[in-house]
Amino acid sequence: MKATINNFKIDLSKPIDISLPLSNTDANPIAWYQNIPEIAPVTMGDWIGKVSEGKSSTNFNNIFFNPHAHGTHTECLGHITREFYSINQCLKQFFFTAELISIAPMSVGEDSIITKAQIEKALGENVPEAIIIRTIPNSEDKKSKNYSNTNPPYIEEAAAVFIREKGIQHLLIDLPSVDKEHDEGKLAAHKAFWNVKDVNQVNEDARFNCTITEMIYVNDKVSDGSYLLNLQFASFENDASPSKPILYSLDSEH
């Protein structure tokens, strides 16, 4: 099945999934000092919600997980504000122009930082609705890594300001956070991207419709460049939800 958008042909039969699945195994990526997710059949007395146990006609599991800690997730500014805001209410459109860029974070002391200059150079003149950052090296252990207490790379505040001032609405990255793991609660990149000046009383010009998606994985076979992004998530009334960002290649009609 194909569609045409802004003079580009989109082959909808060739999705590029950049999400990480959620499982109750050690293969599940983890952050923020949590254990692996729990997926287990419901039990009521001697009844077990598992067909293979021979006492149920259906598989009927409970799932316990944390969207921020257990894989690909999309969050709204409600992640950092005193007042409750839901990703399900903030994001109402799901297709965006997107630019995939690859960046090797710079070493600064004990930290690895993605800088404004790096993002500015990688984007060039492009002004997409969404930016997807793939960090280098891009080892497959990102798919199952336990990031807790590893001080992963992060985005400097000036880079987040640059992204906001470019008018980019959606930021996707293959790290557990855009901010430093231990930053004394400053969350400078989150605040800069959403333009949140006071978490206790959100300013009117904060970016309510903008999102951050973390813990993606973009295979090396996917080239840097322009794509169509379909950003989908489960309809949780929560600051964040597990999500499934999908890319589609763009082929010009001309």
Mean pLDDT for each consecutive 10-residue tract of the chain (254 residues)? 70 96 95 97 95 93 98 98 98 97 97 98 97 97 97 98 98 98 97 97 97 98 97 98 97 56
Domain spans, the chain: 2-22+67-252
Sole residue written with tokens 């944390």: 66
223: buried, middle or exposed (CB in 10 Å: 19+, 13-18, 0-12)?
Answer: exposed
Q: Which helix (H) or strand (E) holds 87?
A: helix 87-90
249 CB contacts (<8 Å, ≥6 apart)? 10, 11, 14, 16, 227
The reported pLDDT for the residue numbered 3 is: 65
pTM of the model: 0.95
68 CB contacts (<8 Å, ≥6 apart)? 31, 32, 75, 79, 176, 214, 240
The reported pLDDT for the residue numbered 254 is: 42
The reported pLDDT for the residue numbered 1 is: 61
Please give the angle made by the CA atoms of 124, 125 and 130, to the nearest 5 degrees: 85
Fold observed for domain 2-22+67-252: Glucose Oxidase; domain 1 (3.50.30)
Cβ atoms 227, 247 nearer than 8 A: yes
Sheet of 111-114, strand order: 106-108, 111-114, 154-155
| Pairing status of strand 111-114 against strand 38-41 | unpaired
184 CB contacts (<8 Å, ≥6 apart)? none
